[in-house]
Structure 1
């Protein structure tokens, strides 16, 4: 059905990682240097996988300094010979976006949901329309919504991105957690750690102007509207759009969610990459 069959064909080799013991500052330094949003964690002096840490992990536990207390322990992993079909199922079943690749008990790579979309779905001919994979019950945000309110809504809905509409109900952008991270500076106990991020596949720009104060279990976000930081370069899709076409749009725009509209241009749903890879399972 598709040309690429094994994890080794799409994974990132020579993977960048962090070690334990280490600190939040060291993890941030590695992420900054290599423009990464996720790092596998290995035991110091070895390549034995013991955890995984993402930019979200750093915000979820703002008062912890030790990597071992921030990371997700004993993460799901796959082998280089794992089938793409089984990899897609693992992403969906565990609702995760990053999976380390381990061979002979050593870390040898990383693979992501976007790797499947960009390297599998775009290179094969999937004529099926996206119609059956669209999210019909979804959240859209008003472009005048304050950033702190938009972030809280997404937190409650357990989503990291949402389409944005204006007062005319027109789709004008996509607002994501990455948009927030691209304008923040983390301040914890008088220690300031700049964190700038982008959507998966994009480079990070670490020159920050906006400050977000992270206190104990609380984020204080600037109250300017999401329209000032949202991603405006988007495309809208129709239900008849093929899976391959959708995958190519996601790759070209470095987005993992796209709005779907009807013939009148009215927003009717969203399609995300996690749903898109269900075609492989």
Structure 2
């Protein structure tokens, strides 16, 4: 596929129209069940009984708002949306300028959800079919955060938040890559627990019974809890890696074949030197 043909591609050519959505109101546990059932990291949120888009919820939202249970409080409402005829070049610019990986495609008049375009769609339906022979060393990320394999799992979400990433390489004492940990593994190893909080308030002077009246409100809320086991017990160990001379299109094909969104780049010695993400691949289309 030639570059000039690529930029004739529109959102309607890329989008996934077989949608899994979740209605609001709803709960964290329902979101998690739906994500696990369909192997998804993000879900469009629609108004109950309709296809009207009202937000998106992701595994990142669930982890970063660990004490919130209601979907309405977990989802993101400030969305960038596309129409059926939004060109690929414009979509790529949106992705590179914003920290977003999924864009809803809507009917602008009714706000009805028609489909979604993700970075994965662009990688698998465009870049993987092209002949971009530039090596991945031209786009690899060399400044990245890694964690030691003995790091407690319950600490990893905080590291991810500080690094603004959803996947982190795991290394051993020798600095060699031994695995990867993502939001998906964190969710699989978490549990939702209920906790109680008491709120006590006294009466007011206007209340005849205020001299001995107090009211106690018992609030029950759900929280995401992670074990403090070593991250090596939960990480992905069977990794797909490549070398810095691998072409951009070949890296895209590896991502498509193995259903992954980033590839560690290793020296022949096995030393980790960088990471190529699906988002970085899009820079080849600029």
Aligned to 1:137: 143
CA distance in 1, matches of 2:60, 2:90: 26
CA distance in 2, matches of 1:33, 1:19: 16
**Which protein has the larger Cα radius of gyration, Structure 1 or Structure 2?**
2
Unpaired segments ≥5 residues, structure 2: 197-219
CA distance in 2, matches of 1:126, 1:231: 29
CA distance in 1, matches of 2:58, 2:274: 28
Aligned to 1:196: none
Aligned to 1:198: none
Structure 1 residue corresponding to 2:96, chosen from 87, 92, 95: 92
CA distance in 2, matches of 1:64, 1:162: 24
CA distance in 2, matches of 1:37, 1:137: 25
1:71 is aligned to 2:75: yes
> Any conservation in 1 of the 2:150–2:232 contact (CA below 8 Å)?
yes
Aligned to 2:120: 114
TM-score normalised by structure 2 residue count: 0.80
Aligned to 2:216: none
CA distance in 2, matches of 1:36, 1:167: 33
TM-score normalised by structure 1 residue count: 0.81
CA distance in 1, matches of 2:172, 2:67: 37
Root mean square deviation of aligned Cα: 2.5
> Any conservation in 2 of the 1:50–1:74 contact (CA below 8 Å)?
no
Count of residues in Structure 1 that have an aligned counterpart in Structure 2: 257
Query: Once the 2 structures are TM-superposed, how far is the Cα of residue 50 of structure 1 from its aligned partner?
Result: 1.6
Structure 1 residue corresponding to 2:183, chosen from 163, 167, 177: 177
1:28/1:167 CA distance change after superposition, 3 Å:
closer
Query: Once the 2 structures are TM-superposed, how far is the Cα of residue 53 of structure 1 from its aligned partner?
Result: 1.4
Give the 4+ runs in structure 1 shifted more than 6 A.
Answer: 215-218
Alignment map for 1:146-225 (pairs within 5 Å)? 146-189=152-195, 220-225=225-230
CA distance in 1, matches of 2:242, 2:37: 35
CA distance in 2, matches of 1:23, 1:220: 16
SS class of match (2:126): helix
CA distance in 1, matches of 2:223, 2:71: 20
CA distance in 2, matches of 1:121, 1:267: 25
Structure 2 residue corresponding to 1:27, chosen from 11, 21, 31: 31
Residue deviations 1:37-85 (CA, integer Å, cap 9, x gap) = 2221222333222211122223333444433222111411111221122
